[in-house]
């Protein structure tokens, strides 16, 4: 079967009907922004002239915010103290669209609160002050948490445990939650904090960052290969289906128990603040998997969501519209730069993309009169890869395939129109009737055609699959045909 593609609009629609049960350590995040221009006369420390402050739902609560902002419904279970910070969080959750909360109150502990002081000029965190009691919940509070969690599992499509090691996710709470969720036949994602991954046994997916993974596995984890090599033992220990290791600017590596590992490079982005990026990744994974996405699609959603989040200040949430713009980015080159002309230009560009670890996709056609059906295929093709190359039949090739009166537009005009689309990264004109030689030169990771083809009919499918690539078929829009458009323009009745 062809590999499912990242059809963003269809996935977003599916996400809107899903519910995620999120459990974890909620906290109140405050960011104090100001200018630093002098050193205190009282001590050798910078003085920040505070200008504004922002308060956000943080920790696992930020995961809940992102779940809701991405379009799903979130049911949140967490722990707060009997204090102003706890009341602020309860009020904020109650007023947040898409979130339903079941907070357990423990009067014996303070609500976790973090205040960060940030220099506006340098976009740098200068100091963080924490109010917290990072100890496990008492047995009585554990019982109350479990009683709040278990009835909600039936309502959820997926369960997400966001562990900040502040006391909510004790071994007992984790065990009851995972066992009940798997008994219900539903997936469990864990963003772990404990180095003893045996306590998460039975989870579907673990999502540590590189540092957490290296400490838990006692490995360097410097490269995707290191991560794959170190995953086997801990995956068996945790009895999970997959491990995803986030590596900041170096991307993400997913190691499934069955199948090949997948590495997705990070999106190029100007980093403003990494606070809460891991929360965004966990939320994007949860809503994608809940909506039926495969590992590869969920990974690309998460990578794009992280790129949006780190481009914002503070503990940021990501909207579905922002995610769509990141997944289907604006073209980075002018149209005339995207049409391959000079000998060796294609190979040079492929070598550059390969060095960057980017996944190259390919599709082809005559594209004589560009119409919405073409645009849908090209957009879907770009969503399935990092860079999209379009093979364009030359004028002579089109005449052989379509007749002496075609093409309507010459190859240069057709190439420039294609290159102007944001979904297209490179256009290569080929002279043959099929693009098989071009496909052999490119050896793309993804080969895309319209759904009016079968996999076996797609030229080059053997070449791509032999090198570990995949064939993707995109549903076509009914009612759009270049031949019919040309016929009508020339006085026909079709």
Burial of 336 from C-beta contacts in 10 A (0-12 / 13-18 / 19+): exposed
Strand 242-246 and strand 252-256: pairing?
antiparallel
Return the pLDDT at 272: 73
Residue 479 pLDDT greater than 80, yes or no: no
The per-residue pLDDT for range 222-276, each reduced to its tens digit, is: 888 999 999 988 999 999 999 999 998 889 999 999 888 999 888 877 777 677 7
Burial of 479 from C-beta contacts in 10 A (0-12 / 13-18 / 19+): exposed
Q: How far is residue 360's CA from residue 388's CA, in Å, rounded to a whole number?
A: 6
- Tell me the pLDDT band of 405, cut-offs 50, 70 and 90: confident
Helices and strands (H and E) in the chain: how many = 17, 18
Residue 76 pLDDT greater than 90, yes or no: yes
Residue 13 pLDDT greater than 50, yes or no: yes
- Alpha helices by DSSP H, 135-266: 139-149, 171-183, 210-217, 224-238
The active-site residue, picked from 7, 191, 273, 279, is 279
State both tokens at 77.
């279970």
Residue 37 pLDDT greater than 50, yes or no: yes
Mean pLDDT of 111-118: 94
| Residue 25 is among the residues annotated as catalytic for this protein | no
Taking CA atoms, 313 is separated from 18, 60, 62, 125, 273, in Å, by 28, 18, 14, 11, 5
Return the pLDDT at 452: 77
State both tokens at 453.
């083809």
Say if CB 480 and CB 373 are below 8 A apart: yes
Q: How far is residue 208's CA from residue 111's CA, in Å, rounded to a whole number?
A: 25
State both tokens at 471.
């064939």
Return the pLDDT at 178: 98
8-327, superfamily in CATH?
Ribokinase (3.40.1190.20)
* Mean residue pLDDT across the chain: 90
- Tell me the pLDDT band of 57, cut-offs 50, 70 and 90: very high
The per-residue pLDDT for range 278-308, each reduced to its tens digit, is: 899 999 999 999 999 999 899 989 999 999 9
Return the pLDDT at 154: 97
Give the closest residue to 309 by CA, choosing from 277, 272, 270: 277
Mean pLDDT of 119-128: 81
Residue 311 pLDDT greater than 60, yes or no: yes
Mean pLDDT of 297-326: 87
Say if CB 411 and CB 403 are below 8 A apart: no
Q: How far is residue 87's CA from residue 93's CA, in Å, rounded to a whole number?
A: 10
Residue 494 pLDDT greater than 50, yes or no: no
* Domain positions in the chain: 8-327, 335-489
Residue whose tokens read 């290296």: 214
Percent of the chain with pLDDT over 70: 93
Residue-by-residue DSSP string for 82-108:
SSHHHHHHHHHHHTSTTEEEEEEE-TT
Mean pLDDT of 454-467: 93
Question: Within 13 A of 443's CA, how many CA atoms are on the CB side?
Answer: 8
Give the closest residue to 93 by CA, choosing from 82, 80, 83, 112: 80
Q: How far is residue 230's CA from residue 252's CA, in Å, rounded to a whole number?
A: 15
- Tell me the pLDDT band of 477, cut-offs 50, 70 and 90: low
335-489, superfamily in CATH?
HUPs (3.40.50.620)
State both tokens at 93.
């959750």
Q: 476 CB contacts (<8 Å, ≥6 apart)?
A: 373, 376, 377, 450, 451, 452
Give the closest residue to 128 by CA, choosing from 248, 275, 249: 275
More confident residue, 40 or 475: 40
Q: How far is residue 494's CA from residue 127's CA, in Å, rounded to a whole number?
A: 70
- Tell me the pLDDT band of 4, cut-offs 50, 70 and 90: very low
- Tell me the pLDDT band of 8, cut-offs 50, 70 and 90: confident
Residue 492 pLDDT greater than 70, yes or no: no
Return the pLDDT at 1: 32
Instruction: List, edge to edge, every strand of the sheet that includes 205-206.
Output: 99-105, 73-80, 19-24, 158-162, 188-191, 205-206, 242-246, 252-256, 262-264
Degrees (nearest 5) of the Cα angle 39, 45, 47?
Answer: 55
Return the pLDDT at 369: 83
Mean pLDDT of 377-386: 89
Instruction: List, edge to edge, every strand of the sheet that includes 446-450.
Output: 426-430, 387-393, 360-365, 446-450, 470-474
Q: How far is residue 430's CA from residue 436's CA, in Å, rounded to a whole number?
A: 10
């Amino acid at each position: 079967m062809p590999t499912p593609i990242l059809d963003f609009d269809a996935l977003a629609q599916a996400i809107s009907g899903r519910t995620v049960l999120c459990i974890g350590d909620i906290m109140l995040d405050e960011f104090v922004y100001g200018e630093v221009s002098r050193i205190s006369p009282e001590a050798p420390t910078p003085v920040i002239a505070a200008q504004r402050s922002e308060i956000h739902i943080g920790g696992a609560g930020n995961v809940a915010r992102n779940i809701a902002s991405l379009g799903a419904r979130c049911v949140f279970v967490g722990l707060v103290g009997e204090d102003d910070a706890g009341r602020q969080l309860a009020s904020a959750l109650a007023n947040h669209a898409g979130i339903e909360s079941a907070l357990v109150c423990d009067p014996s502990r303070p609500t976790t609160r973090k205040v960060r002081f940030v220099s506006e000029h340098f976009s740098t965190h200068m100091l963080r002050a924490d109010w917290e009691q990072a100890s496990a919940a008492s047995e009585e509070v554990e019982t109350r948490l479990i009683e709040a969690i278990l009835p909600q599992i039936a309502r959820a499509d997926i369960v997400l445990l966001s562990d900040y090691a502040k006391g909510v996710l004790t071994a007992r709470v984790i065990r009851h939650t995972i066992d009940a969720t798997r008994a219900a036949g539903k997936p469990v994602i864990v963003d772990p904090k404990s180095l003893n991954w045996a306590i998460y046994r039975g989870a579907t997916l673990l999502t540590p960052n590189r540092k957490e993974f290296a400490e838990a596995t006692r490995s360097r984890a410097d490269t995707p290969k290191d991560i794959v090599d170190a995953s086997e033992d801990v995956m068996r220990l945790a009895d999970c289906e997959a491990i995803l290791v986030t590596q900041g600017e170096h991307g993400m590596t997913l190691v499934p128990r069955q199948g090949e590992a997948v590495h997705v490079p990070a999106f190029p982005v100007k980093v403003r603040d990494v606070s809460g990026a891991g929360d965004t990744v966990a939320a994007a994974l949860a809503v994608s998997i809940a909506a039926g996405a495969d590992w590869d699609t969920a990974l690309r959603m998460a990578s794009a969501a992280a790129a949006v989040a780190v481009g914002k200040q503070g503990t940021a949430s990501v909207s579905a519209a922002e995610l769509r713009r990141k997944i289907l980015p604006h073209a980075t080159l002018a149209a005339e730069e995207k049409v391959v002309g000079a000998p060796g230009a294609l190979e040079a560009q492929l070598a550059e993309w390969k060095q960057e670890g980017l996944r190259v996709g390919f599709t082809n056609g005559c594209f004589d009169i560009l119409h919405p059906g073409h645009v849908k295929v090209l957009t879907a093709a770009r969503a399935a890869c990092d860079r999209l190359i379009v093979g364009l039949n030359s004028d002579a090739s089109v005449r052989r395939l379509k007749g002496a009166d075609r093409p309507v537009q010459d190859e240069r005009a057709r190439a420039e129109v294609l290159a102007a689309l944001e979904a297209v990264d490179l256009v290569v004109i080929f002279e043959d009737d099929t693009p098989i030689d071009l496909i052999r030169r490119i050896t793309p990771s993804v080969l895309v055609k319209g759904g009016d083809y079968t996999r076996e009919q797609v030229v080059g499918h053997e070449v791509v699959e032999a090198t570990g690539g995949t064939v993707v078929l995109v549903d076509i829009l009914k009612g759009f045909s270049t031949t019919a458009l040309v016929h009508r323009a020339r006085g026909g009745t079709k």
